[in-house]
Amino acid sequence: MGNDVILDDAAEALFRELGGTDSSKTGSGYQATGLSEVLNAHDRRLDPYRALLVTFAQLLAEFFSAWKTGDVRRVEEAREELHLVCEKLNKMPGHDGRILIRHQGRGIAGEGRASAEYDTVILFAGLTLDLFQVRAASRRIGVTASDFPGIFVSAMNSLASLGIINIYFRLDFSDPAYWDRVTASLTAIGAHLKLVAVTEASAARNVKRSTDPNFILDENGAPDPNLEALAIVNKQKKEAVAGLIPKIAAVLDKPGETGQIAECTDSYEAVFAFKKLREALVRPPVEINVVKWFICAHDSEMALAEEVRTARAASRLFGKSSPKTARVLDALYAPDFRYQNPFLIMDRMAMVSELLLYMENSELFADLCGHVLDIMELRLDMAADSVLSQVCLSDGRIETRIDDGDVSIPIHTALAGILSFFCNRVSVKAKVKAMIKDPVVFGPDDYKVIAEDFAITSVAAEELIGLLRGCFDPGGHFLRGAFEKRIPLFSEHKEKVFEFLWHFLKEHMHRQERIGFLNSLKVLIDSMQGPGLALYTLLTDFVHDPETITFSDRNALMLANVLLRKFNKELHQDIEMTPEEVLNVVTGLDRDAVEFAQDLIDKDRERFFLKFRHIHATLREALDDNPRITVPLRYLLTLEREVYMLFALVGGVTGQAVLRSGLSEYGDPEFGIYEMVHSAQEMPWLLQILNVIVRALGRVGDASDGVLLHEIRPRMTRLINMSQEQRHRDQVRRLMKWVDESGIKIKKRGG
């Protein structure tokens, strides 16, 4: 086998996904690479395609703008240039033949509310390109790409001014007729935009036209550019296509309709739900303002019936080309949507309120109100307390301060009720925090909020607050003895008590009392029915928002790492154990708890990978003294260490993938993590992380990990020479011993 690394299929797939292998060399042997190095190299490798996508958007905007103004020469030039760009994009390995540009309208951090107008994203082959990513690529590429952010903003502003809120562009150069169809589609859409502009200008000047504009109207009686493109691409008379629409619209809105027609957001899409029409007509390769592309990103994606009908309702209320349609569907269905500021809450609440009122008064859509409210509840549940604390409700109106002025808007009654709950929850959290230090009076409304949040009674909520109040002294210090005396009373509340305590205290503990608090929670859990529910609460809270780091993350991992163990040595000692203590545990592991955690992590591996990537990327930026990072460096170092300790205990395919990636980076001085601005002063911590990884693989690794450990052995010489301090050299020598011992452990297991 030599020095090749052989992984089983499952591990290979996950390791490659995490960024640990060269995917061009699968199966019979390849070298593992570190996560950050792979991500950085991957970014640089994809930057040419990001640059092409910026140019792609620019050319589309210029093409349609030139059509609108009648600049025939620029129309032809832009189309030819677009052809060349599409041919280059088509060479990207593994692309799925689809490019989607869609408006988000969330706004750009630090650029004011006006930035919502050009806040648009491009999706292609796994790339998500927004202004932030364009700026990052521009910095990596250098001076030749310095104007890319400006080009991107200009293109998106142009598309917005044209009334284009999304573009779906198919790439299929394997079809000889493909580019002719692209040309026909672009021409039809351009001609439509020009005719709309002429018609609107005439109406504005009260000029009567000699003939009515020859539009093909959709199911709402509005001009539809995609139906125009359908006619031109298929060389059909407009009248023939227009004649289909009333028949299709009747079926589209038929109550209880199922099958492909139920998956269509408008009459244009519905044309292809009929077998005979689908076989007779070619779908245009370029589409604009198809509402489906706000709830799906690809032809192959399936949307739920409620999502499709909600999209129909939004487009009928606001119009298919309205930014409001884009923004309300983004707030409801975009997987990465978060309420990042109070303005976004105000903006989306107003639009969703309009949508709810429209639905209530519509026989077609009245049954969807519950669906929309359920989603809004889920979205608000993920909003940060710091954001929710900046809004308030008064007499059915939502209020906040924006740009040094108070803003107030009315919102739907049901929506106000949901928002009120989450705002009150923030207030109750603040009361609990204050209660720890000062006398605080809780009223019936407070207990009602707690009861609703944890699905308990108001009486139970009052009892829990009373018990909790008795666990702190007048100075707000945690009284471990008082807590443990109350454990029998806490336990009476069964499975809800841990969730309650974690929810309110995970971030409010004095640093020096954190260990006692976590230990006390462990004692409480042991008095109940096993650690399963507590592990679920801790690990799901850890990945709740994978692209955010909180000061409760480390507490969650520290407690989870203890819950995976059976023996109780530490119940009345510090839970903040050294890696030595954790990594020596073998027979003391709770196998049921380990299997539970491993299954939970593997089932939600995407979120765990995202969280780990974010932690690691943030740590590297902090090591390199990036002023954007506000999380303390030492906290990030200990947090990453706790992640590796978790996987040392849990193992599994996901854990091995993370550990291998970490070994390849921390175990190779060439990767640069030891050469950043703060690396020298934090060297003991970096080496401790490597120690954890090495020993973790000794616990859970297989033959391929033995090879990786063997490969890093020669690199230790350079690592030991990075400092002449005796402490450093001793630490590296101990590490070398663990490299050897971990390799021996793997061999003994038959690896």
Q: Which residues of 600-624 are buried (b: 16+ CB within 10 A; e: fewer)?
A: bbbebbebbbebbbebbbbbbbbbe
Structure confidence at residue 325 as a pLDDT band (50, 70, 90) = very high
H or E stretch including 157?
Answer: helix 148-161
Mean pLDDT of 259-269: 91
Q: How many CB atoms within 10 Å of residue 282? A: 15
Structure confidence at residue 26 as a pLDDT band (50, 70, 90) = very low
Spatial contact of 535 and 563, defined as CB atoms under 8 Å apart: yes
Mean pLDDT of 166-192: 97
Question: Which range, 492-496, 582-586, 613-617, is most confident?
Answer: 613-617
Q: What is the pLDDT of residues 395-450, one digit of tens each?
A: 889 998 776 678 899 999 999 999 999 999 999 888 888 887 777 889 999 999 99
Q: Quick check: 12 pLDDT over 60?
A: no
Considering the chain, what is the average pLDDT of its residues? 86
Place of tokens 């504005």: 204
Mean pLDDT of 549-559: 90
Mean pLDDT of 216-236: 95
Q: What is the pLDDT of residues 369-405, one digit of tens each?
A: 999 999 999 999 888 888 999 999 988 899 987 766 7
H or E stretch including 393?
Answer: strand 392-394
Sheet containing 397-402: order of strands: 392-394, 397-402, 405-410
Q: Which tokens sit at 81? A: 């240039």
Q: What is the pLDDT of residues 576-595, one digit of tens each?
A: 555 566 666 666 788 889 99
Q: What is the pLDDT of residues 708-741, one digit of tens each?
A: 888 888 888 888 888 889 999 999 999 999 999 9
| pLDDT score recorded for residue 686 | 94
| pLDDT score recorded for residue 508 | 63
What angle is formed at CA 51 by the lines to CA 46 and CA 55, rounded to 5 degrees? 145
Of all residues in the chain, the percent with pLDDT exceeding 90 is 51
Alpha helices, DSSP H only, in 513-568? 514-526, 532-542, 553-563
- Taking the C-alpha atoms of residue 566 and residue 589, their distance in angstroms, rounded to an integer, is 6
- Taking the C-alpha atoms of residue 71 and residue 567, their distance in angstroms, rounded to an integer, is 79
Please choose, from the candidates 179, 35, 101, the residue with its C-alpha nearest in 3D space to the C-alpha of residue 666: 35
3-state secondary structure of 40: helix
For the entire predicted model, the pTM comes to 0.76
Q: Which tokens sit at 242? A: 């227009």
